[in-house]
Amino acid sequence: MSNVNLFEVATKTRMRFPYKGSISVEDLWDLSLTALDSVFKTLNAQVKQSKEESLLSTKSKEDEVLENQIEIVKYIVSVKLAEKAAREDALEKKEKKQKIMQIMATKQDEALQNASMEDLQKMLNELG
């Protein structure tokens, strides 16, 4: 089932997830990665428990719901990890850009200090 269909099914069936009681799909987006991992572990434990209790290998409706819930949590975690990586990459680029600009400013200062008095006077006159 595609992610779009999973979210459609989850919202139509008012799917709830085990976290401090129960929360909706929308609430999952507000959780931290560690909280999402906790939800995943709880769901995974429920899957293992349902497999242990059954003598038949047929899937029940509850098994399908659990699998859908796990896929939704996995998807949200993957999106959050990608967003986190993008933020860290943007921060790294920003810091590198600032460092390059500082070096450029230092080099400009050095160039001004190494300019002759005549050149400095010309620059000053051009500024007004």
Structure confidence by residue, pLDDT tens digits, 33-86? 999 999 999 999 998 887 766 566 666 788 889 999 999 999 999 999 999 999
Domain count, the chain: 1
Supply the DSSP symbol for 59: P
Q: Does residue 17 form part of some domain?
A: yes
Q: Does residue 29 form part of some domain?
A: yes
Closest CA to 20 of 33, 30, 35: 35
Q: Does residue 127 form part of some domain?
A: no
Q: Does residue 79 form part of some domain?
A: yes
44-53, 84-93, 114-123 — most confident range = 84-93
| Model confidence band, residue 4 (pLDDT cutoffs 50, 70, 90) | low
pTM value? 0.73
Q: Does residue 66 form part of some domain?
A: yes
Among 28-32, 75-79, 114-118, where is mean pLDDT lowest?
114-118
What are the CA-CA distances from residue 128 to residues 87, 96, 108, 112, 119 (Å)? 45, 35, 20, 18, 15
Q: Does residue 123 form part of some domain?
A: no
pLDDT tops 70 at residue 28: yes
What are the CA-CA distances from residue 95 to residues 76, 100, 109 (Å)? 29, 9, 21
Q: Does residue 113 form part of some domain?
A: no
Contact 18, 43 (CB under 8 A): yes
- Domain residues for the domain of 76 are 3-90
The whole-number pLDDT of residue 47 equals 87
Dihedral sign for Cα atoms in the order 88, 89, 93, 94: negative
Q: Does residue 9 form part of some domain?
A: yes
